Structures are given as C-alpha cells and as structure tokens.
Structure 1
C-alpha cells in the first residue's frame, strides 16, 4: 500500500458517519466469512455512547475504511459486550466489571489489508495505548482463537476465573472465545518488551507518522490518537 493509511481515534458521538462505516464493514465481514449475523460487540447501541472510543483505519482521504476496534468504558449505562456475551454462562463477569473497567471489542480488518498486521497487532496496540487517556484501570477482551496471541503480546492474560479456565463456546456452539484481561494497563508487566516500548511511544506522542512493518512489508501509518478531554 503506497499511500499512508490513517489510524484515528474519536468518541463515538463525534463522528456518526465514520461509525456507520465501521459498523457496516464489521457486520459484512462477520456475515460473509463467519456466517455470524448477531454478535454482542456488533450491536448498534455504542453508536451514540459517549463513553465509547472508536479507532478506525482509513485511506488517506478518510472515505474508505479498512478496519477498526473500540474501547468501551463501563459506566452503568451500556453493558460491556463481554457482559452480554458470557453473562448467561458465567454471572461472575458482572462482578468483575467494576468502575474503571473497559473492554477492547469489535476488532476487525478488511481482506484488503489482511496480512499487514493491522488487525492482529496495530489495532490492539493502539487500543491499549489509548487507555492512558481514559479513566481506566483494567481492560477486558473476549478473543477469538486467532487474536489470543496478539492480546498476550500487548499485556493481556487469560482470565481463568471465568468460564472453563477462561474459555467459552461463543458466538456459536462450534466457535471458541477466550476471556482475557489487562489488570495493569499503565505498567503492562505481562506485555512483550517490544510492545511495551511501542505503546509507550504512542502514549507519549499520540499524533505521529510512523513506518510500520508487517508480514507483507512496510507501510506508512498516520496516527491521530489524541482525544478531547472527557466531560464527566
């Protein structure tokens, strides 16, 4: 990909048009490739939720969407997707989600950028970096098998207190999901040292252009991760 790609973050109500591109791209991917028509992280309630941060991957014009993810803060108004997904199987999740909890959810990337590392690493790294701008202490994530490794790299550990040692059959009986958690989103003691350094760099300079290297080579990324101060 010759032109730089943009990776930007914003609170969901601040850009409804981009939110719809995110939602439609995510929904289409789930339906076409996984046969999933209903998933808790794919509902529309977050579109107007002031405590949801959207991360979107776009072309340089800001009109074509290649993927994204969300960081949803637990606020007692909108349940976290992990609560809705596994609560009926293990009610303990409701006591695990406390003030200061958040969830990285809705992570996806289009086939156009598959193999570049955008979905597997960059989006996870960006979401974890963003938590330093938010009133967040611990971060939940419900991972498909292909994303467990990437979550571990950025500091998540399997939450063995939930389900069967952290494992659930979700969103369908033939699919497995793993509950994971980052309990120290500022220190990230469990993260790979290389990821710790990259996350610290994004936290100290949330707006920057950097050359990234993925399985398919190098590409330029224009990070626009500075968020406006949250209003209580």
Structure 2
C-alpha cells in the first residue's frame, strides 16, 4: 500500500532528505541539474509543508510535492525561477501575502508509482486539499506543459498577467512552463467535477483509506493529511 502524508518540513528532516534525494534522481533522468525548487533551505522553514508518497512496506519516498507559504522570509521558487524574465512576480506575490498565499512546488514522482497511476494528479489533489489547514487563500504553481491540464482540473488557471501570456522558458531554454494560480482555495468552481469531489472528500476526512483505479487495476492509498494545530 502507498501512504500519502503531509507534514511540516521542520518536523521531519529525515523524510525531507529522502524527498530531495528522490527528486534529484528524477531531475537527472530529464537532464535537469539546476532548478529553483530543489534547494534545501526549506528544511528549516516553518512555513513549508511537505507531501510524500511512501511505500508502507519499506518507507521509501516514491514521490512528493511541497507547499511553501509566502511570509517574506524566503522568496517563493516561482519568484526565483522567473524574475529574470518578469520581475513583476515579486510585486504580484506581495499583493497576495496579506490574504495568505503559497506555492505548490517541487512536485515529482518516481517511475515506480507513475506506472501504478499514482503521480502528479494525486499529489496536486493533496496539496489543494490541505490548503485550508495551512490558512492560505491562493496558491501558485509553475507547471510543465504536460501538467497544465492536470492543474486546471484541480482549479488552477493560467496566470496570463505574467511572462508571455503566462508562459516562460524554464528550467531550460527548450522547455516551456506555465505560471498558474488557484485564486481561491475555497472556490473550486474552475475544477473538474471529479477532482472537486476528491478534494472535498480529503478535506472532510484527511485520514482515510481510498481505493483508486490505476493502470494496473485497483489499489489502496492511505491518506494521512491531518496537520498539527498550533
């Protein structure tokens, strides 16, 4: 069984390290060695939340994502990524900080769980589902071309006011990324009906076992998404 769990980065540095090691392996497979969301300063950031997809058999981290809240201490990865192409990103983020804004970043999955059908869809869904617990209203994401539609299904929209109608060459000159924004995490009217139902289910019951359909048939996922209350 696969467990998808959420936690504050500062509460589990060991899992953060496993997350980074797995992410680096995936990036190297794509020939990418420099990416702004792949640094490790967030290990000590109390405003970073981590999502991991783990094997319950041996504890391996097989995929994951981060939700980094903008508080002014650390710039969001999207700010670092696109500032040379559009430095208005900093003012845009500042406008959203008072109401609460974060970025879904560092999303990756191994071939092992991708083959099962567990990948970006499940991790994006999880990030949106935990957003109310974090206390934010909006969420940015910088998406590769093949994940734009997936993000749209979760309620994100292309931020056409950034870059070239929302697009940038990133992380390499031959790759295009789209800046996306979920304007209001409590308004999922732009999400697909199927994703909206899944997100609402996880919000209502953040700890549950769900049977999902994948490429290899049905499988169970144990969701452990209740964050500590301080």
Question: TM class by shorter-chain length?
Answer: over 0.9
Asked if structure 1 preserves the Cα contact closer than 8 Å seen for 2:107 and 2:120, the reply is no
Return the offset for 1:85.
Answer: 0.3
Asked if structure 2 preserves the Cα contact closer than 8 Å seen for 1:6 and 1:62, the reply is no
Return the offset for 1:27.
Answer: 0.8
* Residue from 2, 6, 9 that aligns with 1:5: 2
- Distance in 2 separating the partners of 1:146 and 1:19: 26
Aligned to 2:36: 40
- Distance in 2 separating the partners of 1:217 and 1:68: 22
Tell me the secondary structure at the aligned position of residue 121 of structure 2: helix
Tell me the secondary structure at the aligned position of residue 171 of structure 2: coil
Asked if structure 2 preserves the Cα contact closer than 8 Å seen for 1:107 and 1:119, the reply is no
Aligned to 2:108: 108
Aligned to 1:87: 83
| TM-score with structure 2 setting the length | 0.95
- Distance in 2 separating the partners of 1:61 and 1:11: 23
Aligned to 1:203: 203
TM-aligned CA distance change 1:214 to 1:26, over 3 Å: same
Asked if structure 2 preserves the Cα contact closer than 8 Å seen for 1:8 and 1:224, the reply is yes
Aligned to 1:30: 27
Return the offset for 1:20.
Answer: 0.3
Structure 1 residue runs of 5 or longer lacking an equivalent are: none
Aligned to 1:14: 11
Structure 2 residue runs of 5 or longer lacking an equivalent are: none
Return the offset for 1:62.
Answer: 5.6
Return the offset for 1:115.
Answer: 3.5
- RMSD over aligned CA atoms reads 1.1
Aligned length: 226
Return the offset for 1:116.
Answer: 3.1
Structure 1 segments of 4+ aligned residues over 4 angstroms from their partners? none
- Distance in 2 separating the partners of 1:173 and 1:196: 34
Aligned to 1:51: 47
| TM-score with structure 1 setting the length | 0.94
Return the offset for 1:87.
Answer: 1.3
